[in-house]
């Protein structure tokens, strides 16, 4: 009887790992790729990325993005969409036809005011020309109720 699954040190270590996992869930894919190894006892670094918000500035609240629609953020030149509830996508808000700023999401498409091209909110593909190229995707992270670029 070696008792490797005892209740003493193993239990507390497991609790620390579980807490780290919960932090990862809360951070929603932010930087959890390498923090899951239990070899390093990071007890005090509760949120590795909370201090450095260089790429993590909140763009919007998740509630600001309508399901089945989206919102254009002209300053960041990005459009964030929510094709289905809880699924967020982001694209460069620059038309692939002649580079006009996209300014509207309606009717399930991201629309260009210049010549009327329309792009699908789900994947940025062209729904209506004259554009022929899809919108380039942007990476977006959902952190709690916040949507962040990167």
Residue 128 contacts ligand FES per CB under 6 A: no
Q: Is the peptide bond before 13 cis (omega within 30 degrees of 0)?
A: no
Choose the binding region for ligand FES from 6-14, 50-58, 95-103, 133-141 (rule: CB under 6 A). Answer: 95-103
Binding status of residue 115 toward ligand FES by CB under 6 A: yes
Using DSSP, state whether 128 is helix, strand or coil. strand
Which segments of the chain are extended strands (E)? Answer: 58-61, 69-73, 78-84, 87-92, 104-106, 109-111, 118-120, 126-128, 137-138, 140-143, 146-149
Q: Is 94 in the site for ligand FES (CB under 6 A)?
A: no
Q: Segment contacting ligand FES (CB under 6 A): 21-29, 75-83, 113-121, 132-140? A: 113-121
Residues within the interface to ligand FES (CB under 6 A): 95, 97-98, 100, 112, 114-117, 130-131
């Amino acid at each position: 009887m070696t008792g490797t699954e005892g209740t003493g040190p193993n239990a507390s270590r497991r609790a620390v790992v579980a807490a780290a996992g919960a932090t990862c869930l809360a951070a929603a894919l932010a930087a959890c790729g390498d923090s899951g190894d239990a070899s390093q006892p990071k007890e005090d670094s509760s949120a590795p990325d909370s201090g450095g918000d260089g790429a993590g500035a909140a763009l919007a609240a998740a509630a600001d993005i309508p399901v089945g629609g989206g919102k254009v953020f002209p300053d960041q030149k990005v459009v964030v969409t929510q094709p289905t509830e809880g699924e967020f996508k982001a694209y460069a808000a620059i038309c692939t036809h002649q580079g006009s700023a996209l300014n509207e999401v309606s009717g399930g498409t991201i629309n260009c005011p210049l010549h009327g091209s329309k792009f699908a909110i789900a994947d940025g593909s062209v729904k209506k020309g004259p554009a022929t190229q899809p919108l380039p995707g942007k990476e977006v992270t959902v952190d709690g109720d916040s949507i962040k670029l990167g």
